[in-house]
Every structure is written in C-alpha cells, then in structure tokens.
C-alpha cells in the first residue's frame, strides 16, 4: 500500500512539474488610453490577485526562458509578465500592484520614444526605478517600425541594414543608459517573417511575438508567444483560460507565405504534426482571429487547415485541445499571417 501511495504521489508531482509556462503581454494600464491596448488598473489588480490566490509562480522572463532552454523543470504554473512600449502608466498604475505582490516583470522599450521625452512615455530615470523594483528592461527597436516592410525603392540589402541598426542602436543606448545586457527582443506590432527572424538569429536575439499561446521545451525562440491582455480580451474567464494553458507540442510546421495578398489567402494551407501529450487529439479545434471555427483534417498526427478568406491586417489561427487529466486546461498553439491589399499596399494602423 505504501509503495502504491508513493507511486501515485510521484505521478501527481510529475503532472504538476511539467515544463510549461505562460507569458502575459500588457501595454497601457489606464482608463484613458485606447481600449485595444489597455487594461484598467482594476483589471490588472484582479489578474495579479488571481495569480496570487491560485498558486501561480511569477518569475523573471529570462529565468523561464533559460530554464526551458536547459530543459530543466519550472515550478508548477509559472508565469512571466511583460509590457511593451514603456508607457508611464506602468510606473504609476502597474508598479504599485506588482510591488505589493513582489512580482518580477519585463518592459520592452523602443528607445527613440524615450529620447523624444513624450508625455506618456517613461524617462530614463523612471525606467531605473522599474529596474530597482524587479523590472527588467529589454529591446523593442529604436523607432518601433513595421519591421517586415520595405521603404520606397529600398533594396533587400538596404532593408537588412536598416532593420539590424534598429535593434543594435537601441541595444547600445539601453546598455549606456541602463546597463542592459540581455538578448530579449519584442517585435513591434508583433510583426515578423523569416527574413526578420534570420536577422534576429544572426545577431543573437530571442524574439517575442504577440500571438497567443503557452511555451514549453519545444518552443521556437524566434517566435515566442505571449497572451495579449487588453479590454476585449482581459475578462477573468479569458484570463483564467490563458494562464492555465499549456504548450501544444508540434513539429514540422508549414505555414506557406507569411505575407499574403487579400485575394490569395484561401489558396494556402497551414499544417503541422502533433507530438504525443496529455491532450485530447480528437477534440483539437482551430479558430481564426474573428473566432470562426475552421475546418481541419486530422490524419493520424498530421493537421491540415485551409486558410480562410481574410481581410487585410494581422491575422492569426489559434489551435487548442483540452487536457486529458486537468479539467479546464487547454493545450494551445498559434501562428500569424500578415495580409496586404490586393494592389500590394500595406494596411494602416
């Protein structure tokens, strides 16, 4: 009986100590900023209270990524908190809540906005205050460009030089002003393609995206997912689903062209192979950005999905499958596409 109890105990612990984590993404923490990139201080407080009251472990982003890279075990229910763009509401509205809980966090800074002394952007001295309170500062380019886009009459070589300079110039300034030496990088607007990823890889950076999903030992370090938190996606039901999610293990991912014209999207397919795991393969479901459930074919472990007829903009497909053993837990994987107008012009923000 004792041996059975010990075996069950170790089985239970093995379920808890899986190498999964979730990264949360915030921008503004305010009641007066755009809803599409904001949560209210009240909402953030609810989020942090939920983490505290439900056994989550909030860790520095670099700790989580390094642990996964080394294939070591993370604490159960590990979370990293990140902010993009260095808005001053992080200092005024988010920091008091984070400090109260003792939570670490990361702020991705586009340095030109700090140099511009904009009213709603943190100053160098204010960023230092964040650093003294468990805040990590990291690279978000110099000018926050659409990295995949070429300027008029710009060659590929000129584009590559410009994009590389966006990253290295920002890193140099972050090092000079704040002593930053990490290799963390967040894509502006969450936009990237293979060419951007190649630049990032060549200069030794880790790329954080904006499509949803959990992370684990099979993560691609050039497209690390984060769950965006904003007014329409920050209610407590959605938050609970997000932070309790796990990485859907996949391989041989094929998305075709990441940048497509509007009239050609439905001609392309998205496919991947599932790896074995604690999820119900037969209940796998994939959804478009608008929440439309997509028709998929499942042949043994291979998944094939025809892309929908998309309008212009940033479009995503999220695939989820419920856990076999943990009620309310979903395994999650997503991908991003960028859709241009039929004449080849880009959408405006």
Which residues on neighbouring strands pair with residue 339, listed in sequence order? 260, 313
| Cα 32 from chain centroid (whole Å) | 24
Q: Is 84 helix (H, G, I), strand (E, B) or coil?
A: strand
Quote the domain boundaries for residue 258.
251-340
> In this predicted model, what pLDDT tens digit does every residue of 258-272 receive, in sequence order?
999 999 999 999 999
- CATH value at residue 197: 3.20.20.370
Q: Are residues 79 and 152 in the same domain?
A: yes
CA distance 108 to 136: 8
Rounded Cα–Cα distance for residues 324 and 280 (Å): 6
Model pLDDT for residues 215-253, shown as the tens digit of each residue? 998 889 999 999 999 977 779 999 999 999 999 999 999
The pLDDT value recorded for residue 7 is: 39
Asked, for residue 117, whether it belongs to a domain, the answer is yes
pLDDT score recorded for residue 18: 61
Query: What is the number of other CB atoms lying within 10 angstroms of the CB of residue 273?
Result: 15
| Closest alpha carbon to 184 in 98, 96, 83 | 83
Check whether residue 84 and residue 115 sit in a common domain.
yes
Q: Measuring CA to CA, how many Å separate 110 from each of 90, 173, 189?
A: 15, 10, 12
Both 242 and 255 in one domain: the answer is no
Contact yes or no for 224/208 (Cβ under 8 A): yes
| Whether residues 224 and 264 fall in one domain | no
Considering its fold, how many domains does the chain have in total? 2
Q: Global pTM?
A: 0.93
Give the separation between CA 312 and CA 264, rounded to whole angstroms. 11
Closest residue by Cα to residue 65 from 229, 225, 277, 276: 225
Give average pLDDT by consecutive 10-residue segment, the chain, 349 residues.
Answer: 39 52 97 94 98 98 95 95 97 98 98 92 98 98 98 97 98 98 98 98 97 92 96 88 96 95 95 96 94 95 96 97 96 97 94
On whether the CB atoms of residues 83 and 108 are closer than 8 A, the answer is yes
- Phi and psi dihedrals of 94, rounded to 5? -90, -40
186 and 283 belong to one structural domain: no
Please check whether residues 124 and 217 belong to one and the same domain: yes
Q: Which of 203, 219, 247 is the last residue of a domain?
A: 247
């Amino acid at each position: 009986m004792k041996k059975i109890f010990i075996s069950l105990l170790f089985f239970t612990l093995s379920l808890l100590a899986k190498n999964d984590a979730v990264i949360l993404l915030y921008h503004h923490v305010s009641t007066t900023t755009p809803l599409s990139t904001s949560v209210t201080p009240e909402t953030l407080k609810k989020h942090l209270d939920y983490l505290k009251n439900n056994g989550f472990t909030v860790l520095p982003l670099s700790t989580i990524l390094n642990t996964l890279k080394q294939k070591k075990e993370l604490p159960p229910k590990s979370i990293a908190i990140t902010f993009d763009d260095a808005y001053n509401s992080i200092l005024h509205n988010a920091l008091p809540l984070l400090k109260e809980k003792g939570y670490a966090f990361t702020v991705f800074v586009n340095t030109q906005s700090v140099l511009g002394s904009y009213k709603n952007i943190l100053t160098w001295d204010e960023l230092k205050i964040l650093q003294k309170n468990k805040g990590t500062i990291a690279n978000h380019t110099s000018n926050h460009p659409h990295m995949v886009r070429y300027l008029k009459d710009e060659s590929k070589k000129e584009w590559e030089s410009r994009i590389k300079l966006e990253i290295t110039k920002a890193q140099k300034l972050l090092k000079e002003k704040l002593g930053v030496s990490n290799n963390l990088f967040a894509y502006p607007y969450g936009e990237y393609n293979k060419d951007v990823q190649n630049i990032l890889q060549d200069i030794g950076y880790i790329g954080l995206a904006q499509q949803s999903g959990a992370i684990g030992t099979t993560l691609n370090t050039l497209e690390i997912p984060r769950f965006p938190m904003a007014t329409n996606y920050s209610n407590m039901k959605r938050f609970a689903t997000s932070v309790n999610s796990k990485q859907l293990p996949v391989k041989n991912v094929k998305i075709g062209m990441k940048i497509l014209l509007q009239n050609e999207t439905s001609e392309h397919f998205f496919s991947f192979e599932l790896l074995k795991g604690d999820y119900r393969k037969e209940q796998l479901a994939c959804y478009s950005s608008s929440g439309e459930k997509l028709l998929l074919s499942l042949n043994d472990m291979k998944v094939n999905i025809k892309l929908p007829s998309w309008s212009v903009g940033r479009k995503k497909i999220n695939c989820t499958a419920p856990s076999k053993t943990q009620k309310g837990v979903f395994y999650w994987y997503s991908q991003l596409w960028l859709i241009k107008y039929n004449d080849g012009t880009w959408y405006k923000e």
